[in-house]
Amino acid sequence: MIIDTTEVQTINSFSTSGFFKEVYGLIWIIPILTLILEITIGVLVIVWLEREISAAIQQRIGPEYAGPLGILQAIADGTKLLLKEDLLPSRGDIRLFSVGPSIAVISVLLSYLVIPFGYRLVLADLGIGVFLWIAISSIAPIGLLMSGYGSNNKYSFSGGLRAAAQSISYEIPLTLCVLSISLRLEIGRNDQVVLPYDSDLDSSTVDIVEAQSKYGFWGWNLWRQPIGFLVFLISSLAECERLPFDLPEAEEELVAGYQTEYSGIKYALFYLASYLNLLVSSLFVTVLYLGGWNFSIPYIPIPELFRINQMAGIFGMTIDIFITLAKAYLFLFISITTRWTLPRMRIDQLLNLGWKFLLPISLGNLLLTTSSQLVSL
Amino acid sequence: MILSVLSSFALVSGLMVVRAKNPVHSVLFFILVFCNTSGLLILLGLDFFAMIFLIVYIGAIAVLFLFVVMMFNIQIAEIHEEVLRYLPVSGIIGLIFWWEMFFILDNETIPLLPTHRNTTSLRYMVYAEKVQSWTNLETLGNLLYTHYFVWFLVSSLILLVAMIGAIVLTMHRTTRVKRQDIFRKNALDSRRIIMKEDGRDLSRREAYIYNEYISFGSPRVSGFETSGGA
């Protein structure tokens, strides 16, 4: 949550008063823990969703024994993985083997810092916003390479190399799509177009959502950047290593890719990282393209009615969170349906798609965005 | 405190890059150096550059280093290698480097150096930047594309040269190269491809003999004459 702190002038920054300020800074741990709790529950929900939707697609019943409607299935899976034996390869690099899954999870968890669930419901309203997600998701291939290398298994190693190649290939179209969104024009107070060097046009996620709030449903970035939306969708599916870009975890070719030698809680960390990545990608799709927390039916001022007083303000915030999650569900549904419908792509097809197709298209999208801004000026 | 933690981690990681036995560990410590340097850049207020360090250095350059180091069979260095034989020249270069650093740095900003004079370090707030401040990205764009555009174009030329080098090494000549398409070759039927001199197609027996020639170099059917008919 954004807490407005006042800065105090200090004469000597190494004095004891500086230490107490750092202790007071620990109050931030409460929102962070809240978000972690929400994310964990979100992952459990996504696992259940995936099972139910895949069951519906394959015309069978999903989980039904663990809890009513199988809701506790994810917890049952997690508990099982927690209690399994933790195998280590005898000749592998044990330290790299152990650290690899952690790096994959850490890099995904750090990306949740900049996702806004409401106007003041963001952990860190950074000026560089979305860029932080792109930067930190660039660290994930390192974790995959470490896991693949430390497993002492040539199929794991090959899977790790392929996973890293796939990740770095699809980062570039992703970054270019995000860049095209950041190049927005802001409509100023008197309905004048604000020139880019007049206001603070930064990559802040809150500002990106605010820029989509003017016309309700028609103010979404989806309509301003349709090509970018498709490219972002495909690239984020590839970054999450979901089908159809599933080759690093292919069961037929590589046993399980870089996850082969993992058991127990380390495997659970990879599983968790995969679903966390999916959740953060879907939240970013809503923030960047689908209008974030704005209640997107135009001319119905429902959220404004709830800002009258403090109590109603809380209800307004709850509605914002609910709207964000409902929009994220759209992308989740699309990606889960895609997983259980489309076949897997070969590695050369995958890399061709990334470098030879999506990269020129996203560059073209950037060119189109900038030239349309020039024309409208 | 964060400054000293990040700096010391960066220095130790830098040392471990050189001292690690396994080259993969070496590159991973290299990545740690970049992570810590990125943190130091954030402390300096250059948030955009910190993210660029993460994306470009760690996400692209270090990953490619890792690809190279992991795939090639680089021997792990011996434990009892004589490092002392490097001491004379490396010692001189290291001392020159240290002397230059002390010569260049301003003494007052580093309170722990022995040459520091006893002043208290002031931290004050720049109110001007709270009123209207440019982000890092805006500042960079305003300078790089206007006053210093030549450097920008030159660096893009350097990257173009690198790209040409990569293309030359891996070029996949698609035109004017006789390549074999295996599937097409298997689908060929010699009876439809080959025509005899008098304009007639091969008969079944002749097609069979032709295939024998192609596959085995000589026909296995004895008493064969190619000029005969069916």
| A174 at interface of B, judged by CB pairs closer than 8 A | no
Q: What is the mean pLDDT of residues A28-46?
A: 88
> Which residue, among A215, A220, A219, has the nearest Cα to A298 in the 3D structure?
A215
Tell me the chain B residues in contact with residue A164 when contact means C-beta distances shorter than 8 Å: 63, 66-67
CA distance A139 to chain B (A): 6
Chain A partners of B50 at a C-beta cutoff of 8 Å?
A: 135
Q: Do B121 and A13 touch (CB under 8 A)?
A: yes
Q: CB–CB of A276/A109 below 8 Å?
A: yes
Integer-rounded Cα radius of gyration of chain B: 34
What lies within 8 Å, CB to CB, of A176 at 6+ separation is A231, A359, A362, A363, A365, A366
For B56-99, the DSSP string reads: IIIIIIIHHHHHHHHHS-PPPPPTT--GGGGHHHHHHHHHHHHH
Nearest-Cα distance to chain B for A11, in Å, is 5
How far apart are the CA of B1 and the nearest CA of chain A, in angstroms?
A: 8
Mutate which of B4, B16, B135 to disrupt the A interface (most A C-beta within 10 Å)? B135
Which residues of chain A does B138 touch, with a Cβ-Cβ cutoff of 8 Å? 197, 200-202
pLDDT on residue B210: 75
Q: Measure the CA angle with vertex A255, ends A249 and A260; round to 5°.
A: 75
What pLDDT is stored for residue A142 in this prediction?
A: 92
How far A51 CA sits from the closest chain B CA (Å)?
33
B60 part of contact set with chain A, CB < 8 Å: yes
Which of A107, A125, A202, A258 has the most B C-beta neighbours within 10 Å, making it the best mutation to test the interface with B? A202
B153 confidence band (pLDDT: 50, 70, 90): very high
CB neighbour class for A114 (10 Å; exposed up to 12, middle 13-18, buried from 19): buried
Q: How far is A204 from chain B (nearest CA, A)?
A: 11
Q: Are A73 and A66 in contact (CB under 8 A)?
A: yes
Across chain B, mean pLDDT equals 78
Q: Please, which residues bridge with residue A10 across strands?
A: B123
Q: Taking a C-beta distance cutoff of 8 angstroms, is the pair A354, A169 a contact?
A: yes
> Residue B31: which of A7, A93, A142 has the nearest Cβ?
A142
Q: Does the beta carbon of A194 lie under 8 angstroms from any beta carbon of chain B?
A: no
ipTM of the complex as predicted: 0.82
Question: For chain A, how big is the Rg over CA atoms in Å?
Answer: 22
- CA dist., res. B137 & res. B182, Å (int): 53
pLDDT confidence tier of residue A182, bands split at 50, 70 and 90? confident
Q: How far apart are CA A289 and CA A130, in angstroms?
A: 13
DSSP A184: P
Which residues of chain B have a CB within 8 Å of the CB of A201? Answer: 138
The closest of A339, A328, A161, A331 to A242, measured between CA atoms, is A339
Residue A198 pLDDT > 50: no
CB A315 within 8 A of CB A308: no
Give the residue-averaged pLDDT of A292-299: 72
Return the pLDDT at B121: 54
A132 in contact with chain B, both atoms CB, cutoff 8 A: yes
The verdict on a CB contact (< 8 Å) between B47 and A139 is no
Contact A100, A146 (CB under 8 A): yes
- Is A134 near chain B, with CB under 8 Å? yes
List strand residue ranges (DSSP E) for A77-229, in order.
186-187, 193-194
Read off the pLDDT of residues B24-36 as tens digits, 9 standing for 90 and up.
899 999 999 999 9
Q: What is the average pLDDT value for chain A, to the nearest integer? A: 80
Q: CA of A74 to nearest chain B CA: how many angstroms apart?
A: 32
Which residues of B, range 82-141, sit inside 8 Å of A by Cβ?
120-125, 133-138
Q: Does B47 touch chain A (CB under 8 A)?
A: yes
Determine, for residues A9 and B62 on separate chains, whether the beta-carbon distance falls below 8 Å: no
Angle between helix B149-169 and B136-144 (nearest 10): 90
Cis peptide preceding A248, ω within 30 of 0: no
Coil/strand/helix, residue A245 = coil
Which strand (E) or helix (H) includes residue B190? helix B190-193
Please identify among residues 137-176 of chain B the ones whose CB lies closer than 8 Å to any CB of chain A: 137-138, 142
Whether B28 and chain A come into contact, CB under 8 Å, resolves to: yes
Minimum Cα–Cα distance from A95: chain B residue: B25
Q: Does residue A375 register a pLDDT over 60?
A: yes
Could you tell me the pLDDT band of residue B170, with boundaries at 50, 70 and 90? Answer: confident
Distance from CA of B96 to the nearest CA of A (A): 33
Distance from CA of A30 to the nearest CA of B (A): 22
Whether residues B63 and A136 touch (CB distance < 8 A) is answered with no
pTM, rounded to two decimals: 0.79
> Where is B23: in which H helix or E strand?
helix B23-43
The pLDDT, as a whole number, for residue A103 is 92
Amino acid at the residue A16: T
Q: What is the mean pLDDT of residues B119-132?
A: 62
Q: Which of A10, A132, A168 sits opposite B123 (nearest CB)?
A: A10
Three-class secondary structure of residue A194 per DSSP = strand
pLDDT digits (tens, 9 = 90+) for A43-91: 999 999 988 999 999 999 888 887 787 788 888 888 998 899 888 888 8
Question: If you measure CA to CA, which chain A residue comes closest to B30?
Answer: A142
Give the model confidence (pLDDT) of B67-108 as tens digits: 988 887 666 655 556 677 778 898 999 999 888 887 777 555
Which residues from chain A sit within 8 angstroms of residue B70, using beta carbons? Answer: 145, 149, 157, 161
Residue whose C-alpha is closest to residue B26's, from B62, B50, B73, B57: B62
DSSP letter for each residue of B152-176:
HHHHHHHHHHHHHHHHHHT----SS
Q: Is B212 on the interface with A (CB under 8 A)?
A: no
Q: Which residues of A touch B62 (CB under 8 A)?
A: 142
Residue to test with chain A: of B33, B34, B49, B66, most A Cβ within 10 A: B66
Residues 6+ apart with CB under 8 A from A182: A130, A201, A202, A203, A208
Q: What does the alpha-carbon distance between residue A313 and residue A306 come to, in Å, rounded to a whole number?
A: 5
- What number is the average pLDDT over the span A7-17? 37
Q: Which tokens hold the place of B91?
A: 């010692």
- A26 band by pLDDT with thresholds 50, 70 and 90: confident
Chain A interface disruption, residue of B5, B25, B70, B143, most A CBs within 10 A: B70
Q: Is A23 on the interface with B (CB under 8 A)?
A: no
